[in-house]
C-alpha cells in the first residue's frame, strides 16, 4: 500500500508549475483546469502543527488534472522522468482505461512529462502512449525512449505572461494532428 511518506511529494515542483499555469489560463479565460486531489486516510497527525505525517491512499486516482479548454474536455497526468527513458510502470492500467474512455467521449487525454535531465517539458498525446502501452502488453519494451518521441510536441520553455508550462499550443497541435489522422 503506497503511503504519503514514501511517494506523496514526488513531482510536487512540476505540479506547482502546472497549477500556476492553470491559474493564468483561468485569468485569461482560456481554460478551466482543476487538480484532482487523491483521497487519503491519515494515519499519523502531528498534534502541534496539525500536519499529516503518514497516510494511505483510499482509492486509485485516475488523472492529476481535468477540465475544459474552449469547450473541449481535457484530462491529463503529470509525470517527471530523471533519465531519457520513461518506464511505463509509472502509469497504471486504470489510468489508461480512464483516458481511453475519456477520449471515446470526444475528450482529449494526454501526459505532461518533465524530463528533468533535459530540462524539457513534453506533451505526450494519449494515442502515442497507447502505442507504447500496447507494445509492452504484447511482450515488447516496458518503457519508451526520448528519441522515440515526436520533437514537435516539445513544449516551449519560454514563460509568456506568467504561463510557465504553455501546453495549450500542444493541445491545438494534437487537435490538428487528429484531423489529419481521420
> If we measure between CA atoms, which residue out of 47, 181, 179, 19 comes closest to residue 112?
19
Q: Please compute the mean of the pLDDT values over residues 9-20 and round it to a whole number.
A: 78
Tens digits of residue pLDDT in 132-168: 999 999 999 999 999 999 999 999 877 677 789 999 9
In the chain, the percentage of residues whose pLDDT exceeds 90 is: 71
For the record, the C-alpha cell of 182 comes out as 481521420
pLDDT band, very low/low/confident/very high, at 50 (cuts 50, 70, 90): confident
In Å, the largest CA–CA distance within the chain is 59
The pTM of this model reads: 0.83
Distance CA 61, CA 53 (A): 20
pLDDT at 7 over 50: no
Query: Which of 3.30.420.40, 3.40.50.2300, 3.40.1350.10, 3.30.360.10 would CATH assign to domain 4-181?
Result: 3.40.1350.10
The residue extents of the domains of the chain are 4-181
Please give the annotated binding residues, written as ranges: 62, 64, 77, 95
Q: CB-based burial of residue 49 (10 Å sphere; 0-12 exposed, 13-18 middle, 19+ buried)?
A: exposed
Q: Please compute the mean of the pLDDT values over residues 37-48 and round it to a whole number.
A: 73
Please give the annotated binding residues for Mg(2+), written as ranges: 62, 64, 77, 95
pLDDT at 9 over 60: no
Q: Which residue has the higher pLDDT, 160 or 67?
A: 67
List C-alpha distances in Å: 83 to 13, 110, 116: 17, 20, 7
What integer best gives the mean pLDDT of the chain? 88
Amino acid at each position: 500500500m503506497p503511503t504519503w511518506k514514501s511517494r506523496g511529494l514526488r513531482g510536487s515542483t512540476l505540479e506547482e508549475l502546472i497549477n500556476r499555469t492553470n491559474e493564468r489560463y483561468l485569468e485569461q479565460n482560456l481554460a478551466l483546469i482543476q487538480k484532482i486531489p487523491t483521497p487519503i486516510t491519515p494515519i499519523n497527525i502531528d498534534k502541534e502543527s496539525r500536519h499529516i505525517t503518514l497516510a494511505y491512499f483510499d482509492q486509485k486516482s485516475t488523472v492529476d488534472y481535468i477540465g475544459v479548454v474552449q469547450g473541449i474536455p481535457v484530462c491529463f497526468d503529470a509525470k517527471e522522468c530523471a533519465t531519457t527513458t520513461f518506464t511505463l510502470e509509472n502509469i497504471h492500467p486504470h489510468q489508461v482505461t480512464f483516458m481511453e474512455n475519456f477520449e471515446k467521449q470526444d475528450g482529449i487525454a494526454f501526459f505532461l512529462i518533465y524530463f528533468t535531465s533535459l530540462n524539457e517539458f513534453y506533451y505526450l498525446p494519449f494515442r502515442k502512449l497507447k502505442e507504447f502501452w500496447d507494445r509492452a502488453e504484447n511482450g515488447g519494451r516496458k518503457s519508451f525512449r526520448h528519441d522515440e518521441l515526436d520533437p514537435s510536441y516539445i513544449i516551449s520553455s519560454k514563460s509568456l505572461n506568467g504561463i510557465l508550462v504553455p501546453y495549450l499550443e500542444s493541445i491545438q497541435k494534437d487537435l490538428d494532428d487528429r484531423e489529419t489522422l481521420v
